[in-house]
Amino acid sequence: MQKLSLGEYLRQKADCLKQETLALYHAARDPRTPLAAKILAGMIVAYVVSPIDLIPDFIPILGLLDDLILVPLGIVICLRMIPPQVMAEARIAARQQIETTKSKTAAIVVIAIWIALAVLLGVWII
């Protein structure tokens, strides 16, 4: 078992949190999810993507605690309210969406590089 550096560990946890938040979004849209879970999931997703925090981030320590405590706590509570089958399907959908987004982004970057090289070659030839 390979020991992870602190940066790699935090990056993995952030990716996991991102995937769980996206999975909550998908689960909230499922008709089998109870209304209370839909409302809580909507509030969590809105809070995560909102630029406004309950405690502003510029306040030392307290500013980050709301993100480190409230969001994971809300996710845990919401996960207990959503049926396991719905959450499993939502996680699959979230994983597929993240992979599709990454591959599209990579394709766009590669195409942009080729276009830039073609333009530079054209300018150099003329």
Confidence (pLDDT) at 102: 66
pLDDT tens, residue order, the chain (126 aa): 567 788 788 788 878 888 888 898 899 999 999 999 999 988 887 887 777 777 776 777 777 777 778 888 888 899 899 999 999 999 999 999 888 776 677 778 778 888 888 888 888 887
- The 3-state secondary structure of 13-30 reads HHHHHHHHHHHHHHHHCC
Summarised one tens digit per residue, pLDDT across range 19-52 is: 888 898 899 999 999 999 999 988 887 887 777 7
Every domain of the chain and the residues it spans? 6-125
Q: What does the DSSP 8-state code read for residue 34? A: -
Confidence (pLDDT) at 103: 67
Residue type at position 16? C
Confidence (pLDDT) at 77: 93
| Residue 33, CB-side half-sphere exposure with 13 Å CA sphere | 26
- Decide: residue 83, CB within 10 A, 0-12 exposed, 13-18 middle, 19+ buried: middle
87-108 b/e with 16+ CB inside 10 Å = b?
bebbbebbeeeeeeeeeeeeee
Helix (H) or strand (E) holding 118, with range, is: helix 84-125
